[in-house]
Amino acid sequence: MNKKPIGIFDSGVGGLTVFKEIRKRFPYEDLIYFGDTARVPYGPKSRNTVIEYSVQNARFLIQQGAKIIVIACNTSSATALTELQSILPVPVLGVIEPGAMSAVKTSISKRIGVIGTEGTIRSQAYSSAISNLDKNCSVFSKACPLLVQLAEEGWEDHEVTKLTIKEYLTPLLKNSIDTLVLGCTHYPILKTSIQQFAGNEITLVDSAQAVTDKLDDVLPNRETMGTGEDRFYVSDNEDKFNKIASKILNMEIDKLIKVKLGEGWFLN
Ligand code: DGL
């Protein structure tokens, strides 16, 4: 019987916020996660580099048997989705469109804030996705690169994190937004601190739930689901990943393997 897993990747621990939602919704699907911890962060890297890494990550997951790829990274989704969809033999889902859709549904004032990495904000992927859905929406964006490192450190409620959030969000909140898109899968790890600063009148939106809804629509071979097995791969620092991942997922991680990706996509 064909029990192929769903492959999910991110530059590090951020995509686990998407993994968590997929695991919750599909308890009998086998999931494999790749966190590119040797090359995190993707946000400040050039378009070509992010495309190259994303292709390597997705090919690695397909080599492990993935029947579908979820890009649990906004930077890769904004940059490499079309490329991956055109070269890979399996369906590929990104997080930007589902996130944009969720924001448009949530916002009443049609004034939407978007925070993300430099790559995601520079690409204007959210602004175009949102205005394709509703031309009357105004989008206010802000790159918040340091938040990725703080999430990777597991500093979700550290004083430094709170100060950094204040510094980034203060100018953005002057635009009277009612919805704030967490346009980086690392940011939901810091959700409590972000919500505390933004205030309860602003609704935070992340893509995890929306991309999982989409997965529900496109998942092939539902009758051949697996046993709910989880497998995790990283490209470096497995102990650090393990510690933070166990905290995010609220469970012990027992299958964690370190692999080395590179030119030709896979070295050992
Ligand atoms: N979690 C990723 C994203 O959603 C990448 C962050 C990074 O590596 O800079 O954009």
Residue-level pLDDT at 132: 97
Residue-level pLDDT at 261: 81
- Report d(CA 208, CA 248) in Å as an integer: 14
Find the domain containing 108 and state its range: 96-207
DSSP labels for 130-141? HHHH-TT-EEEE
Overall size of the chain counted in residues: 268
Do 30 and 60 reside in the same domain of the chain? Answer: yes
Do 117 and 244 reside in the same domain of the chain? Answer: no
Q: In sequence order, what are the beta bridge partners of 231?
A: 32
Ligand 1: centre distance to CA 161 (Å): 17
**Considering its fold, how many domains does the chain have in total?**
2
Do 63 and 76 reside in the same domain of the chain? Answer: yes
Q: Is residue 195 part of a domain?
A: yes
Ligand 1: centre distance to CA 155 (Å): 16
Residue identifier of the C-alpha nearest atom 8 of ligand 1: 41
- CATH code of 50's domain: 3.40.50.1860
Before 98, cis peptide (omega within 30)? no
Ligand 1: centre distance to CA 134 (Å): 26
Q: Is residue 266 part of a domain?
A: no
Tens of pLDDT along the chain (268 residues) come to 458 999 999 999 999 999 999 999 999 999 999 999 999 999 999 999 999 999 999 999 999 999 999 999 999 999 999 999 999 999 999 999 999 999 999 999 999 999 999 999 999 999 999 999 999 999 999 999 999 999 989 999 999 999 999 999 999 999 999 999 999 999 999 999 999 999 999 999 999 999 999 998 888 666 667 789 999 999 999 999 999 999 999 998 988 999 988 765 544 3
Residue-level pLDDT at 94: 98
Q: Is residue 17 part of a domain?
A: yes
Q: Is residue 135 part of a domain?
A: yes
Do 156 and 109 reside in the same domain of the chain? Answer: yes
DSSP labels for 162-210? HHHHHHHHHHHHTT--SEEEEESTTGGGGHHHHHHHH-TTSEEE-HHHH
Residue-level pLDDT at 159: 97
Q: Is residue 265 part of a domain?
A: no
Q: Is 117 in the pocket of ligand 1 (CB under 6 A)?
A: yes
Contacts of 168 (CB under 8 A, 6+ apart): 115, 142, 144, 146, 147
Q: Is residue 33 part of a domain?
A: yes
Do 50 and 12 reside in the same domain of the chain? Answer: yes
Do 178 and 246 reside in the same domain of the chain? Answer: no
Residues carrying an active site annotation: 73, 184
Do 202 and 101 reside in the same domain of the chain? Answer: yes
Residue-level pLDDT at 221: 65
Ligand 1 site-directed mutation target among 79, 184, 189, most atoms within 8 Å of CB: 184
